[in-house]
Amino acid sequence: MERLIPSQKQLKNFIMTKIKPFTIVVTGGLGFIGSRFIKYVYDNTVHNIINIDKHTYAADPARIPEHITEDEERYTFLKLDVCSNDLCKYPEVVGADYVVNFAAESHVDNSIEDGTPFMNTNFMGVYNLLETFKNAPNLRRFVQISTDEVYGDMADLRGEQEADESYPLKPSSYYSAAKASADLLVQSCARTFGIPYLITRTCNNFGPGQDPEKFLPKIAKSIREGEAVPVYGDGNQAREWMFVDENVEIIYGLMLIIEENGIYNIGTGYRCTNNEVIGMISKAMGQEVKYKYVKDRLGHDKRYALNCDKVSKKLLLDTYYPLSLSQYIKDTYNPDIIEAHVI
């Protein structure tokens, strides 16, 4: 789904036009958000991209369009684990101008079953990247992609508060604990070794190419197969939602414009419960979507909410009107698209 959002022209006027092409290392570039970041950078800049991905079950090479993969001058793919010591064997990697780390295990259910891969990739992988790039000669910024889940459950004795960047970290799962730990690693590396960094904490993303195990694609799959959509607990867990292409555009803008190390929340203020998502899809399809309540996830957070005043002021997003989840569902969830496996 292609969409020119109102903020794009503003961002380009300030930061998108660069005479000198940089080399950007993107880890986890075959994943949902990482692949959209690569597409955005390739289509809107002259920069060179090195995509590093281990190619796990959640990776899909088809997420990278052919016009990118066929451009051997600007795009390179390396099948590597972020935990691998082989990273330092590639001069073009170590000599990069920017590193953007999307590589992560992110399915919370899997972290409950076995947290080991989450500790390896989300924590030790970040440590290995920092060790690789802490003395890199050309590094302008190490970008760590984090999550709103590091703040924990905002409904946990906290009323209707929103988390700003100074909010205490209180992760609830091995996944979010590993991400929070990685954030601290990045900050400690900056303090000790002087690595320049940006940490972004983003809410739930939606958009093309999302992993089948995630909530929205899982609903589409259940509809296709005539099965009831499984909904955890009472379905009243509230999440903040953002269109993936808007998220990666803001990440790119921050990466280039900030002069000091910093943490930035990226969100929309658009929040809804899982029950409300089911209702939106039912309305969009003109039919009732079957669902069933199942045993709640262990440690399941009830509410996430971000305060994003900092990024709004930094990127002058006063006229930024995000694509709402309800509009995306209205545009996307119809019987023809569902049957075509587009989502």
What's the one-letter identity of residue 111?
Answer: S
- At 77 the three-state DSSP class reads strand
Tally of CB atoms within 10 A around 194: 10
148 classed as catalytic:
yes
Are 165 and 264 in contact by the 8 Å Cβ rule? The answer is yes
Task: Name the residue type at position 250.
Answer: I
Alpha-carbon span 191 to 138, nearest angstrom: 19
8 Å CB contact between 267 and 308? yes
Q: What angle do CA 180, 300, 178 make, to 5 degrees?
A: 20
Q: Is 175 a catalytic residue?
A: yes
- The closest of 199, 324, 319 to 269, measured between CA atoms, is 324
Q: Which DSSP category does 15 fall into? A: I
Q: How many CA atoms lie within 13 A of 179 on its CB side?
A: 29
Structural contact between residues 148 and 180, judged by C-beta atoms closer than 8 angstroms: no
Pairing of strands 48-53, 75-79: parallel
The one-character DSSP state at 168 is: P
Q: Which of 53, 105, 149, 183 is the catalytic position? A: 149
Q: Identify the active-site residue in 53, 81, 148, 183.
A: 148
- DSSP category for residue 297: P
- Catalytic pick from 75, 167, 174, 175? 175
Side chain identity, residue 47 = H
Judge whether 149 counts as a catalytic residue: yes
Yes or no: say if 129 and 113 are a contact pair by the CB < 8 Å rule: no
* Residues tagged active-site: 148-149, 175
